[in-house]
A and B are shown apart, each in its own frame.
Chain A
């Protein structure tokens, strides 16, 4: 019963500032554990929409229900204490230590002190901020990435079922950003939460979202999985929005599973699965991007060589010996097409009883065919 009820339900939500419509008639439902990314250009209303969820902004029309309750019937501060909140500027209280910042919401909720301490230490440890070193520091002593991790720990401290994130990585440099995003993705605690995140970064949206809501000028352009937005754009705006980064997004979105029907056509020969190869396998639900990264990692500059002309070898350095550039796709016994995008009926997906070898040429060829196929649908 509870499972069937959406955690967040938004109906007919609109917000105007004077004559300008910032959010126009937006509706969506979010199931427990789902991650929704609100994506769109600056000023599209995504942040406004996010802030209506915890009543930092009151809508002009429409309703927001959290856990089945209309938020207007709850005291705003009590509502907010049950929803984690992370913003781009982080907003750590500069006069409190890291530990005190993390403990803010549990304290507001009146949790016992011992419990708060334990929880704070646990979170800091998990976010790679060893409490022994960082608990007593002040926010200004931390780097931007560390501050944002504290911000995340603070949002998680009271273990709220819902987390709202407003461009949480927006202020970080690209390297820190990639690192903290990976940590974020791998944080077990977050996987169980219902997450709504605002970003204007397409890569970030595709990496983290279960579903993406693409907004423009306050209107929903499309709401769906990354795969749907990419391969079945609802209109020209959606198509053009992703055009510039299409290849990267496709590499990140398609999994080896999607390539299975085509991989069989390009089976490389001459590779024998042996005991050494066991360290060099990949799961079928990995993305093409991950397969490429793994191949390139073991082959050194092989991927580079495929895309860029190799520099002339310097005479002093002998050319490295050719490395085995093969990956073993783990054996699978059953195969199901992704539910939202059925593979064409005439293509019978093969099943592999034994590990299947992948090389760079075979992978790229299968990827090309798969793209053609999906775009034709």
Chain B
């Protein structure tokens, strides 16, 4: 009931956006269907004339169908960039199989006697095709177009991931924010559209054969008209932004940013998180969201805009350790402390870049860093009865590197045994592993500890504000008290949300901070 209210409220609030997305969705579907018919039907006809090609072509279209849609979009980005072109092309590829296959099946299903008689009576090959085969194959052919239409209405939701718009914007925003009302706000119109397309084509299919030909032609003519819906003018501005769905919806993401910095006239598209950096690099968009220590910032020559008003909450990394371990092995405390303040944002970004883009082993990167800083020591012999320190990490490069650094330090400075358990699925898994003693330590971020693990009342969060020290103090006290876990000194870098631009463009426009961006946009 609650969700229903939220849904209706959401629609009311976002009526304009809903209309725009629906129109885009229809346009995407119609354009791809049109391409599918324009290519698929002649291709199918060719296959009926050259049956030897049929298994190959149908095989290829079948394989295309099995490629997960998000992966297919990913393949297309390098060649086609982002926006409607790769989206329509991907949808077109998905439409091919049903259209080609049904064309072949339909034409092959025409009674051989009818075709032979028509030829014997003096129909030319073209006349046999136009007056006999196509009209008789039309119901099957239309069924193929109908299948393709329904598939495409569904797959077109993914177009949102490549900034092509459509109802997927709501759906993926809703998924990222775990907001069922928002998911439904996109999913219900998408489902309704699928039903409408299906019913309309189904009605054409059921028409008497006589009318069917003319109405079928009418449908084909209507597709380009629907496709042009997509070309309706969209909002434009001096800069174009592309944001991941989660960033758009989170209170500490775009809404907070817009409020604090007054970022007006920044038209934005929603993109798959994996594609945001690519889009900025290829200049499909100018401003993106990201994480401040991501290796791609360096790889793609991007620049982090300084969050001078401190909208993004602090996510300082620090080792979280079981208090019990520090009591039994007090010699570990200074070892864990060796990295405190050693890693700035740019240093961490550099290390991530080496692992993510230069494909160096995390262990090698970690060791090289320790040597540079003079922290590295050769491993000491392990005491025969020594305990084993188990280090955990989440499943991304930064955490792997940190875990390897700590492992090397423990080997070099103590005679304890070390074991790394890297690649644990996510925050909750790491945290539970730590509480249960499956691991003894993993690097965590203050913002995550606060918002994900402690989840204090909003008033508390507000009172802490964006103050890094205050957040660390709160988290440290609560973890000790509730979980007997200790936050040691932070490593120095703040892996938080960041607004990014291409470095060259930022320099040209003289933008170094988010305030500068707001000023530039308001000019």
User: Footprint of B on A, CB under 8 Å?
Assistant: 54, 56, 77-82, 85, 87-95, 104-105, 108, 151, 154-155, 164
Give every chain B residue within 8 A of A154 (Cβ-Cβ): 121
Question: Which of B117, B124, B132, B136 meets A87, CB within 8 Å?
Answer: B117
Closest to B210 in A: A95
Complex alpha-carbon distance, A155 and B118, angstroms? 11
Residue contact B120 to A87, C-beta cutoff 8 Å: yes
Give every chain A residue within 8 A of B127 (Cβ-Cβ): 77, 108
Give every chain B residue within 8 A of A93 (Cβ-Cβ): 114, 117-118, 131-132
Closest to A51 in B: B120
Interface: B123 (CB within 8 A) = yes
Mostly, the B contact residues are helix
Query: What's the least CB distance linking B453 to chain A, in Å?
Result: 69
| Cβ contacts B79-116/A at 8 Å (1 or 0 each) | 00000000000000000000000000000000111111
Complex alpha-carbon distance, A8 and B127, angstroms? 27
Query: What's the least CB distance linking B204 to chain A, in Å?
Result: 15
* CB contact under 8 A between A105 and B114, given known A93-B132, A95-B210: no
Question: Which of B113, B123, B132 meets A89, CB within 8 Å?
Answer: B113
Complex alpha-carbon distance, A34 and B111, angstroms? 32
Interface: B209 (CB within 8 A) = yes
User: Footprint of A on B, CB under 8 Å?
Assistant: 111-124, 127, 131-132, 135-136, 209-210
Q: Which 9 A-B pairs give the minimum distances between C-beta atoms? A: A91-B117, A89-B113, A81-B122, A85-B120, A80-B122, A91-B113, A95-B209, A77-B122, A91-B114
Query: What's the least CB distance linking B120 to chain A, in Å?
Result: 4
Give every chain B residue within 8 A of A151 (Cβ-Cβ): 117
Residue contact A105 to B122, C-beta cutoff 8 Å: yes
Residue contact A95 to B120, C-beta cutoff 8 Å: no
Complex alpha-carbon distance, A90 and B115, angstroms? 11
Mostly, the A contact residues are mixed
Give every chain A residue within 8 A of B209 (Cβ-Cβ): 94-95
Give every chain A residue within 8 A of B136 (Cβ-Cβ): 94-95
Give every chain A residue within 8 A of B118 (Cβ-Cβ): 91, 93, 104
Q: List 22 A-B contacts (CB under 8 A).
A: A54-B120, A77-B122, A77-B123, A78-B122, A79-B122, A81-B121, A81-B122, A85-B117, A85-B121, A87-B117, A89-B116, A91-B111, A91-B115, A93-B118, A93-B132, A94-B114, A94-B136, A94-B209, A108-B121, A108-B123, A155-B121, A164-B120
Residue contact B122 to A108, C-beta cutoff 8 Å: yes
Query: What's the least CB distance linking B119 to chain A, in Å?
Result: 6
Residue contact B121 to A105, C-beta cutoff 8 Å: yes
Residue contact A95 to B119, C-beta cutoff 8 Å: no
Complex alpha-carbon distance, A320 and B121, angstroms? 56
Residue contact A56 to B114, C-beta cutoff 8 Å: no
Complex alpha-carbon distance, A85 and B113, angstroms? 12
Give every chain B residue within 8 A of A77 (Cβ-Cβ): 122-124, 127
Residue contact B117 to A92, C-beta cutoff 8 Å: yes
Closest to B212 in A: A95
Give every chain B residue within 8 A of A82 (Cβ-Cβ): 122
* CB contact under 8 A between A91 and B135, given known A77-B123, A105-B122, A108-B121: no
Additional A-B contacts beyond A85-B120, A93-B117, A155-B121 (14; CB < 8 A)? A77-B123, A78-B122, A80-B120, A87-B113, A87-B116, A87-B117, A88-B113, A89-B116, A93-B114, A93-B118, A93-B131, A93-B132, A94-B136, A108-B122
Closest to A164 in B: B120
Complex alpha-carbon distance, A269 and B473, angstroms? 142
Query: What's the least CB distance linking B136 to chain A, in Å?
Result: 6
Query: What's the least CB distance linking B388 to chain A, in Å?
Result: 77
Give every chain A residue within 8 A of B117 (Cβ-Cβ): 85, 87, 89-93, 151
